[in-house]
Each structure stands twice: as structure tokens, then as C-alpha cells.
Amino acid sequence: MSTVNTSVFEQTAELKESYLCDALDYDRDHIWHPYTSMTKPLPTYLVESAQGVKIKLADGRELIDGMSSWWSAIHGYNHPVLNSAIEQQLKKMSHIMFGGLTHQPAITLAKKLVDITSASLQHVFFSDSGSVSVEVAIKMAIQYWHAQGKKDKHRLLTVRQGYHGDTFAAMSVCDPVNGMHSMFKGILAEQIFAPAPECLPDGSSNIHKVEELLQKNHLSIAAVIIEPIVQGAGGMRFYCQQYLQDLRALCNQYNVLLILDEIATGFARTGTLFAYEQADIEADILCVGKALTGGYLSLAATMTTTKIAQGISADGSGVLMHGPTFMANPLACQVANSSIDLLLQSSWAEKIQQIENQLMKELMPCSELAMVRDVRVKGAIGVVELKEPVDLKQIQEKLVEQGVWIRPFNQLVYIMPPYIIETDELSKLTSAIVSVLTV
Ligand SMILES: Cc1ncc(COP(=O)(O)O)c(C=O)c1O
């Protein structure tokens, strides 16, 4: 068995090389990475540190980050303000149970979230990850209808090509084919799927497909769940605000709740603080996570209206049936408070617009390439969709050789960089994409 000794970094190049091999061997033999095989894993790169938009590998190479650690590190890494928020909180307490106790970081964060989201969202449930916040949202919807005496309303309607997380209820509303969870068919709750949103330039869309399903099934549907404006991990698809407006109206008409999953899109990624603002609608239940803590710690929140909170409370024991051990972790809440302040104090709208303009200009030439099906940009998200899935190992190596960290999946090569990225750094990301796709 190999031993991993961090002090070796101060030693000779030879020792460092052997440490690197040992560490990577141990990692490969013992640790699962996301969606990987234990016996035939793809290579991983050992990271020593990260600063601003740069990731420093243990072998000395430096990569410009194009992923924001999956939508989360919006202010970049090792940010002095966020570091300090954690250090200050650490001196008081890193964690305390939330059953029967509360603390200022959670109260301040709840106030901030209530302030920056729709006026109707007044109640907050903190949990430890995006997937769990989706579980909680689904529970809220089901418990609400249960309290109304409508116990048959327990199914979810959603659209194809969505992604809402990897826990069981969350998996049940991911795309049943490409949502990475098709092997669980028959085990997951069977939900109702409309086609993925399609919008035409004149504003018309395939929302009538949702209407048909609601008309037929509304008595058994508790809620519609959807990622507003941008469908993330299920295909990096963008759709129009009119679709969301029509969806809101249909939910009202058929008496079903609307859950908006802003876990990926929240905190300015699409150009507005929350993507739903572009459609000028309000959710009955809203999930946020990822960039909530600026990518520092795992934290998510599920928010809802007074009508739903009171509805749930009127039933039986009146309690919402959830309570994770690390609920409202004070370190996570405190860094979230600082991250939201940092964002709101910055000229984020201008910055996202600049990133969007640059992505448009520098990625659009990819549409001329033979292997490319589509190029699209929304806010600080740039997507190059290929005709065929990428060879991940090969393209990853080429991107790392170009000095960038971009993690493609299936036929998607996409970036969503930290908002602090400079023009020349963003150009390095886009030119690396153009270069690896040019054969
Ligand atoms: C829209 C959306 N919902 C939910 C999740 C799940 O969040 P987590 O990975 O924190 O559980 C993700 C993660 O990618 C997401 O993009």
C-alpha cells in the first residue's frame, strides 16, 4: 500500500515525482470520482492549490479554470474575503446542530435570500447539497397537497433533458434516457415527462405538450419541476422566457405547484440574478445551491411561500419531514453571506454581459467546423455542441496541454468561468476550444 506524505512537496524533484505517482495510483485504486468505474477509471489530475481563476497542478502546470467547479466558484478560488469569512466563523463554531438551536449566520443568510428572491418566497429550508434541496422541494409539494386532503396529488411533471441531482426523487425527474439514471428505470418513482422545451424565433413553443399532459393528469400531479431558461447537465439547452411564462400560467390553471430549480442558474450565471427574472414569474418553491457559497462549502436552500408553509403546517403534526445533520452549517452559511455580498457589491451585470459578448465573438467561429452541430451562449455560459460524443480522455489531455481546465461531457464542450476572469484569460479558454476542435 502506498503512503501519502504531503511534506514531500518541500523535497527533491525526484521525490515529488514519486509522491505524485503514489498519490495518483492510490486515488485510482481506491477512490470513486463522479460517474466513473473503479476498475477502468479515466485519469485524474492532482491539484495542489487554486488561486483566482488558476488551478495549480502538483506537477507544476497551471490551468485557467473554465468550469467554476461546476457552476459554483463564481468569485474564483482562495478569495481573501471568503477565506476571512470562514476563518472568523471558525473561531466561533464550525458546526452546531440545528434542531432546537439556531445561529446568526443562518438567520442573516435566510434574510438575504428572502430579500434577493421573489417577494412571495418567505420561508427557507437549508440543506447540504443541491440534490437534497430538490428532495425537500418535492416533499414540500407532496406534503402541501396532503394537507389539503388531496393525497392523490403526489406525482411530478417535468421536461426531458432536465437534470436535478442524483438522489432518488431527484433522479426520478432527470431525463429518463440521457439523465445518467436509465438503469434505475422501474425502481424510481414514475413521473410524467413532456418533451424538452423548444422555442421558435416568433415566441411560439411546444408548451402545448405540457398542457396536454396537465389536462390529462393534473389530479395526480403535485408540481411541475424545471430548470428556468437553461437546462444544464441534461444537455446545456437554452429556451425562451415565453415558455416559462406559459408554464406558470398553466400551473395556476391546473392547480399544480411550480418548482424552479435555480441550483445551476442562480447567482447571475445567465445574466440576471436568477434566471426566472427573465420571464418575470414567481416560483411556488425555489431551489438554490452551488454558487450560494461561492463554491467554498456544500450548502443549498429550498424556499417557499407563506401559503405553502402554512398549508404544510396545518396537516397532522404540522412538521416538514426533513432534518439533515449538517443543516444550516454555520461555516457554509457565513461564507454564503460573504459570497452574496461580494456579488451584489460587484458590477456583476456588466461583467456577465462582457463575458457573454466575448464568448459570442470567440466561440462563434466554431460553428464553421465540420464536427460542430451548434454553438450557443447565454450569460457567462458558452456551449459548443458536437455531432458526436467526445473521446473524453483524449480531449481532456489536449485541453490540459493547452493550459485550460474544461471538462466536456457527451457531445458538449462548454465553459462557465468564474466571473472574475480577465479578457485574455477567457480568450485562452476559447482559443483552446477552437484549437482542439480544429483537426
Ligand atoms: C439544476 C441542478 N439541480 C440539481 C443539481 C444537484 O446538485 P448537487 O450536485 O449539489 O447535489 C445540479 C447539479 O449539477 C444541477 O445542475
Q: Are residues 313 and 352 in the same domain?
A: no
Q: Are residues 94 and 132 in the same domain?
A: yes
Regarding the beta carbon of 289 and ligand 1, being less than 6 Å apart is answered: yes
Q: How far is the CA of 264 from the centre of ligand 1 (A)?
A: 7
Residues in the chain where the model's pLDDT stays below 50: 1-2
Q: How far is CA 191 from CA 73, 157, 212, 267, in A?
A: 33, 6, 15, 29
Regarding the beta carbon of 230 and ligand 1, being less than 6 Å apart is answered: no
Q: Are residues 121 and 178 in the same domain?
A: yes
Pocket test for ligand 1, best of 163, 260, 274, 326 (most atoms within 8 A of CB): 163
Residue 163 designated active-site = yes
Q: Are residues 338 and 362 in the same domain?
A: no
Asked if the structure places residue 267 within a domain, the reply is yes
**Residue that is written with C-alpha cell 416568433 in the block:** 202
> Which stretches of 195-327 are assigned E, i.e. beta strand?
221-226, 230-231, 237-238, 257-261, 285-288, 300-305
Regarding the beta carbon of 266 and ligand 1, being less than 6 Å apart is answered: no
Regarding the beta carbon of 162 and ligand 1, being less than 6 Å apart is answered: no
- pLDDT for residue 1: 43
Last residue of a domain, one of 324, 345, 366: 345
Q: How far is the CA of 163 from the centre of ligand 1 (A)?
A: 7
Contact between 291 and 74 (Cβ < 8 Å) = yes
Q: Are residues 156 and 288 in the same domain?
A: yes
Q: Is 126 helix (H, G, I), strand (E, B) or coil?
A: strand
CA nearest 308: which of 436, 138, 429, 161? 138
Q: Are residues 155 and 15 in the same domain?
A: no
Q: How far is the CA of 21 from the centre of ligand 1 (A)?
A: 32
Q: Which atom of ligand 1 is nearest to the CA of 289?
A: 10
Helices (H), 94-194: 104-116, 130-147, 168-172
Nearest CA to ligand 1 atom 16: 264
Nearest CA to ligand 1 atom 3: 164
Cα 339–chain centre separation: 16
Residue 261 designated active-site = yes
Q: Which atom of ligand 1 is nearest to the CA of 227?
A: 1
Burial of 392 (0-12, 13-18, 19+ CB in 10 A): middle
Asked if the structure places residue 63 within a domain, the reply is yes
Q: How far apart are CA 354 and CA 371, in angstroms?
A: 28
Regarding the beta carbon of 385 and ligand 1, being less than 6 Å apart is answered: no
Q: Are residues 370 and 261 in the same domain?
A: no
Asked if the structure places residue 338 within a domain, the reply is yes
Asked if the structure places residue 41 within a domain, the reply is no
Burial of 334 (0-12, 13-18, 19+ CB in 10 A): buried
Catalytic residue among 139, 153, 290, 428: 290
Q: Are residues 148 and 247 in the same domain?
A: yes
Last residue of a domain, one of 345, 360, 375: 345
Nearest CA to ligand 1 atom 6: 165
Contact between 127 and 324 (Cβ < 8 Å) = yes
For residue 415, give the CATH number of its domain. Answer: 3.90.1150.10
Residue 374 designated active-site = no
Asked if the structure places residue 33 within a domain, the reply is no
Domain limits for position 265: 81-345
Contacts of 92 (CB under 8 A, 6+ apart): 330
Q: Are residues 419 and 402 in the same domain?
A: yes
Q: How far is the CA of 304 from the centre of ligand 1 (A)?
A: 19
Residue 393 designated active-site = no
Q: Are residues 94 and 218 in the same domain?
A: yes
Regarding the beta carbon of 130 and ligand 1, being less than 6 Å apart is answered: yes
Asked if the structure places residue 201 within a domain, the reply is yes
For residue 310, give the CATH number of its domain. Answer: 3.40.640.10
Regarding the beta carbon of 227 and ligand 1, being less than 6 Å apart is answered: yes
Q: Are residues 313 and 359 in the same domain?
A: no
- pLDDT for residue 183: 83
Q: Which atom of ligand 1 is nearest to the CA of 70?
A: 14
Asked if the structure places residue 90 within a domain, the reply is yes
Q: How far is the CA of 164 from the centre of ligand 1 (A)?
A: 5
Catalytic residue among 163, 243, 254, 414: 163
- pLDDT for residue 286: 99
What domain count does the chain have?
2
Asked if the structure places residue 31 within a domain, the reply is no
- pLDDT for residue 69: 98
Last residue of a domain, one of 287, 314, 345: 345
Q: Are residues 291 and 354 in the same domain?
A: no
Q: How far is the CA of 174 from the centre of ligand 1 (A)?
A: 11
